[in-house]
Structure formats: structure tokens, C-alpha cells
């Protein structure tokens, strides 16, 4: 079963705009990770945020975590055509080291 649920399922924006995608989960987590997948390729890790953290940054990426709402968001600022990809959140539960992936958000950047 899929633990994380991304929203929206698909998003199209103009190059230069910001893109925000959300992930909700159901049970307490140890950490939450965001991955990017270019069409048909392997996943690439973007950011890991632990349950005791509220926000992390990496370049143009900003991830927030709200454990009270069981949700996370990924913000990509100043989007570029190369950001076109699917983005997945993955959760790690306490006492379980496996990653459980959501169904992803398909992001399209329009030049």
C-alpha cells in the first residue's frame, strides 16, 4: 500500500515560476525524503528531512514538514525546463527502515 499521497498529480507552470507540491502521510515517521525521476529513469534523491526538523533547503529546493498535519511540501523556486520530471515523496516509519513511496507529482515546465 502507498503511504504518501502527493498533490497535485500533475502540475504545469511557466519557466521562472515557483512550483509547489505536497505530500500527506498517515502514520508517524522517522524521516521523509523527496526524489526526482526523469522520464523512465532511476530516481535521484533530493532532500531528506527528519521528524524533528521543520524546514530544509538545498539550492532552489525548500522542503517543509508539519508532523501535526502529517504533511510535507516541496517548493522549487525559479523553475527551469530541466526541472520537468516526476517528484516522489517517500516515508520511513519508526522501527522500519523501508521507504514507502507515493504515486508522485508530474511537473512540466513550459519554456
Partner 1 sequence: DADVTQTPRNRITKTGKRIMLECSQTKGHDRMYWYRQDPGLGLQLIYYSFDVKDINKGEISDGYSVSRQAQAKFSLSLESAIPNQTALYFCATSDQRGSTQYFGPGTRLTVL
Phi/psi region, residue 81 (left: phi>0; alpha: psi -120 to 50; beta: rest), is alpha
The C-alpha cell that represents 36 in the structure block: 526526482
- Selected from 65, 88, 107, 109, the binder of partner 1 by CB under 8 A is 88
Report the distance separating Cα 105 and Cα 60, nearest Å: 18
Which residues face 76 on adjacent strands?
19, 61
Span between the terminal Cα atoms of the chain, in Å = 36
- Confirm or reject binding of residue 61 to partner 1 (CB under 8 A): no
Looking at 20, 22, 30, 67, which residue binds partner 1 (CB under 8 A)? 30
Distance CA 109, CA 111 (A): 6
- Does the protein bind partner 1 through residue 92 (CB under 8 A)? yes
What minimum distance in Å lies between the beta carbon of 16 and partner 1? 28
Identify which range of 1-9, 11-19, 58-66, 69-77 contacts partner 1 by CB under 8 A.
Answer: 1-9
Shortest Cβ 101–partner 1 spacing (Å):
4
Interface residues with partner 1 (CB under 8 A)?
1-2, 4, 30-31, 33, 40-45, 48, 88, 92, 96-104
Amino acid at each position: 500500500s502507498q503511504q504518501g499521497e502527493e498533490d497535485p498529480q500533475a502540475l504545469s507552470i511557466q519557466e521562472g515560476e515557483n512550483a509547489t507540491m505536497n505530500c500527506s502521510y498517515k502514520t508517524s515517521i522517522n524521516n521523509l525524503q523527496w526524489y526526482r525521476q526523469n522520464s523512465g529513469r532511476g530516481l535521484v534523491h533530493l532532500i531528506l528531512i527528519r521528524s524533528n526538523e521543520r524546514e530544509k533547503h538545498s539550492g532552489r529546493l525548500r522542503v517543509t514538514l508539519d508532523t501535526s498535519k502529517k504533511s510535507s511540501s516541496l517548493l522549487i523556486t525559479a523553475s527551469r525546463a530541466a526541472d520537468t520530471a516526476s517528484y516522489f515523496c517517500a516515508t520511513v516509519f519508526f522501527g522500519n527502515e523501508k521507504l514507502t513511496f507515493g504515486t508522485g507529482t508530474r511537473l512540466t515546465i513550459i519554456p
